Amino acid sequence: MIDIKILRENPELVKQNIKNKFQDEKLPLVDEVIDLDSKSRAVKTEADSLRAQRNKLSKEIGALMAQGKKDEANAVKQKVGEYAERLAECEKLEAEYSEKVNNIMMVIPNIIDPSVPIGKDDSENVEVEKFGEPLVPDFDIPYHTDIMESFDGIDIEAAGRVAGNGFYYLSGDIARLHSACTAYARDFMIDRGFTYYIPPFMIRSNVVTGVMSFAEMDAMMYKIEGEDLYLIGTSEHSMIGKYIDTIIEEDTLPHTLTSYSPCFRKEKGAHGIEERGVYRIHQFEKQEMIVVCKPEESPFWFDKLWQNTVDLFRSLDIPVRTLECCSGDLADLKVKSVDVEAWSPRQKKYFEVGSCSNLGDAQARRLKIRVNGKDGKYLPHTLNNTVVAPPRMLIAFLENNLNEDGTVNIPVALRPYMGGKEKLIPRK
Question: At residue 192, does pLDDT exceed 80?
Answer: yes
Question: In angstroms, rounded to a whole number, what is the distance separating the alpha carbons of residues 93 and 87?
Answer: 10
Instruction: Characterise 186 by phi-psi region: left (phi > 0), alpha (psi -120 to 50), beta (else).
Output: alpha
Q: Are residues 233 and 96 in the same domain?
A: no
Q: What is the pLDDT of residue 51?
A: 83
Confidence of residue 77 (pLDDT cuts 50, 70, 90): confident
Q: Which residues constitute the domain of residue 385?
A: 122-424
CA nearest 403: which of 84, 155, 195, 147?
Answer: 147
> Do residues 133 and 62 both lie within one domain?
no
Per-residue model confidence (pLDDT) at position 67: 74
- What share of the chain has pLDDT > 70, as a percent? 97
Highest mean pLDDT pick, 53-57, 82-86, 269-273, 312-316: 312-316
Per-residue exposure over 82-100, b if at least 16 CB sit within 10 Å of its own CB, e if not: ebeeebeebeebbeebbeb
What CATH number did the domain enclosing 404 receive?
Answer: 3.30.930.10
Summarised one tens digit per residue, pLDDT across range 84-139 is 888 888 889 999 999 999 999 999 999 999 999 999 999 999 999 999 999 999 99
Query: Is residue 112 in a domain?
Result: no
Is the domain of 263 the same as that of 374?
yes
Indicate if 294 and 206 belong to the same structural domain.
yes
Domain-embedded: residue 116: no
In percent, the amount of the chain with pLDDT more than 90 equals: 81
The span from the CA of 125 to the CA of 325, in Å, is 5
**Each residue of 207-239: pLDDT tens digit?**
999 998 877 787 889 999 999 999 999 999 999
Q: pLDDT digit string (tens) for 316-362? A: 999 999 999 999 999 999 999 999 999 999 999 999 999 999 999 99
Same domain, 293 and 373: yes
Q: Are 383 and 361 in contact (CB under 8 A)?
A: no
* Total domains in the fold of the chain: 2
Choose one of 41, 71, 105: the last residue of a domain.
105
Q: pLDDT category, 68, cuts 50, 70, 90?
A: confident
Q: What is the pLDDT of residue 83?
A: 75
pLDDT classification of 271: cutoffs 50, 70, 90: low
Residue 86: what pLDDT?
A: 84
Q: What is the mean pLDDT of the chain?
A: 92
How far lies 66's CA from each of 56, 311, 315, in Å?
16, 81, 85
Record the pTM: 0.89
Alpha helices in 106-234, H assignment, sequence order: 144-150, 156-163, 172-191, 205-211, 214-220
Q: Contact, 264 vs 208, CB < 8 A?
A: no
pLDDT tier for residue 420 given thresholds of 50, 70 and 90: very high
CATH of the domain at 77: 1.10.287.40
Of residues 30 and 277, more confidently modeled: 30
- The last residue of one of the domains, among 74, 105, 136, is 105
Spatial distance between the Cα atoms of 241 and 256, rounded to a whole number of angstroms: 15
